Structure 1
């Protein structure tokens, strides 16, 4: 019997896998439907005309704006707005547009509240969120699969037929990682297709050029690697504790309480860049490529304060080190401890 195929089959046929799989698929489909239902292609001509009338009425009651529109040299002669011509935003603006932007004139869009789903701007972050949730689910599934075998005695029976513990542990990890990779690919592709359809029907697709694809794929790939690491972490915790509840308790404890405690402690210590104690900061740096932390305590009128930059490489070393540490501990525990 091929142990790897048997492990994959066991993971796929578990009731918990079926439940989570249905929930994830339904969640992706439901999210796409919601995005399509709340999005519009834009306001109608009648809505635009009514909004423009409101804006014109408000502008007529604004003497500063009227003076700006009527005087082409308003920004040059008015000392309060002498800085405008040096502002990069000013370049290429028409005079009326500059008055609206800098003096405070009203525009039609100020009186229209509509939402248009932009695939170019929003879809990458939605897909990244879906992959992160998939990683959390696979973390729970991998820990549940290992913990259930220890609780039922299946692990002891399996070692009778496969006495090489390292091969057995490696095969289980490989099967869990394969299942995670398959789930990430399927859900990411499904989300991409459904969101693209929602944008085509009710929103706008935007310009999906080469840089967009490069940036999006980089984010999604790094998030996929994060999901694989979460899967290894869940399996390792269950192997260490030999029970699903222990692994689940550690994971839930940090997600719900642990990070809150870290933030409270860091605030009381009055240390620089307290956000660096939170794993969420490092996860964000890994996914997005870099995170800048600001030390507000060192801010003065002349200086914006100290800045700490965390790159994806540094975040990868820390997160990878955590996963590796628990993986090594789980391997050592499985190799040394009795099966009972």
Structure 2
């Protein structure tokens, strides 16, 4: 049996891997069920009800406006006049545009509009699973002494660690591709039953496929980072500790400090923004501290657009840095 085959079997047969993946699948199924039961297909009946509700609320607001006008005029010259505007004609009169029927429509799942959020949700959950499973996969062997025993059989250190990483990445590639296909099919079914797929064109399907491909890359980087950190620290807790520290220090601490210091484009220093830029192709950050609200042209804040190539470069850099450090460490450090 080859080392790669042995490591793949070791990964997929671990109880931790099975339970973690099963728990994630249950969460994903709950999301699908929630989207199914909280949306409904829109037809002529729903449109008619929305139009009737909009008209009813408009009439109710108009009646209330007329009553307020009468009360305002009656209060002129009395102590109650302070409760109303000096000029009753300045009171805002509701218009039909304030009560548009589309605002009263029930929630419906438009695949083209709503599925990108679901694709991002899938990628985020699988990335979390990949990070933890990847860290546990190599961290458990370091802490239990299994890595030392394996290196007695296969003394080529970098080959052993590289084969383990390859088994991890290939396994999560298969898992992500399968889950993405099923996830897409399930939400096509949700859209058919509780929404619409009419706006989907060949270009739209291509955009969805590319987004899911970016999600796959995110999952693989997360798996490699978890694997690399655990290998560097020779314990699963190393990867989890670094992650928790990064979240506390860089997300909450750094975010608070940058906001208090009014640093320009402070959001650009936070990890979630780069993940959104990667999945959604771009994100626009605006600096409202640069707004001149006194200008006649209104607020025109400075903006910074983060694009997916920029985010991709960051992901590639993190991948190379962590995996390279792990390879260097196993090559140069003592195993015992």
Moved more, 197-206 or 215-224: 197-206
Q: Among 326, 329, 332, which residue is 2:322 paired with?
A: 326
Aligned-residue offset at 1:192: 1.0
Would you say the 8 A contact 2:21–2:129 is kept in 1?
no
**Any idea what SS the aligned residue of 1:293 has?**
strand
Residues 156-198 of structure 1: per-residue CA shift (max 9 Å, x gap): 0000111111111110110110111111111111111111112
Would you say the 8 A contact 1:39–1:203 is kept in 2?
yes
Q: Among 47, 50, 67, which residue is 2:49 paired with?
A: 47
Partner of 1:74: none
Count of matched residue positions in the alignment of Structure 1 and Structure 2:
302
Gap change, CA 1:201 and 1:162, over 3 Å in 2: same
Would you say the 8 A contact 1:118–1:199 is kept in 2?
yes
Partner of 1:335: 331
Aligned-residue offset at 1:36: 1.1
Gap change, CA 1:166 and 1:42, over 3 Å in 2: same
**Any idea what SS the aligned residue of 2:109 has?**
coil
Residue pairs, 1:64-83, within 5 angstroms = none
**Any idea what SS the aligned residue of 2:53 has?**
helix
Would you say the 8 A contact 1:120–1:208 is kept in 2?
yes
Partner of 1:286: 278
**Any idea what SS the aligned residue of 1:304 has?**
coil
**Aligned-CA RMSD value:** 2.3
**Any idea what SS the aligned residue of 2:9 has?**
helix
Aligned-residue offset at 1:21: 1.6
Residue pairs, 1:190-339, within 5 angstroms = 190-256=182-248, 258-300=250-292, 301=295, 302=297, 304-339=300-335
Aligned-residue offset at 1:116: 1.2
Partner of 1:155: 147
Q: Distance in 2 between matches of 1:248 and 1:60?
A: 59
Q: Distance in 2 between matches of 1:107 and 1:13?
A: 56
Q: When the two structures are superposed, what TM-score results if normalisation uses the length of structure 1? A: 0.82
Q: Distance in 1 between matches of 2:223 and 2:314?
A: 17
Would you say the 8 A contact 1:55–1:107 is kept in 2?
no
Would you say the 8 A contact 1:29–1:194 is kept in 2?
no
Aligned-residue offset at 1:204: 2.1
Would you say the 8 A contact 1:28–1:187 is kept in 2?
no
Aligned-residue offset at 1:252: 2.8
Q: Distance in 2 between matches of 1:199 and 1:270?
A: 43
Q: Distance in 1 between matches of 2:14 and 2:251?
A: 31
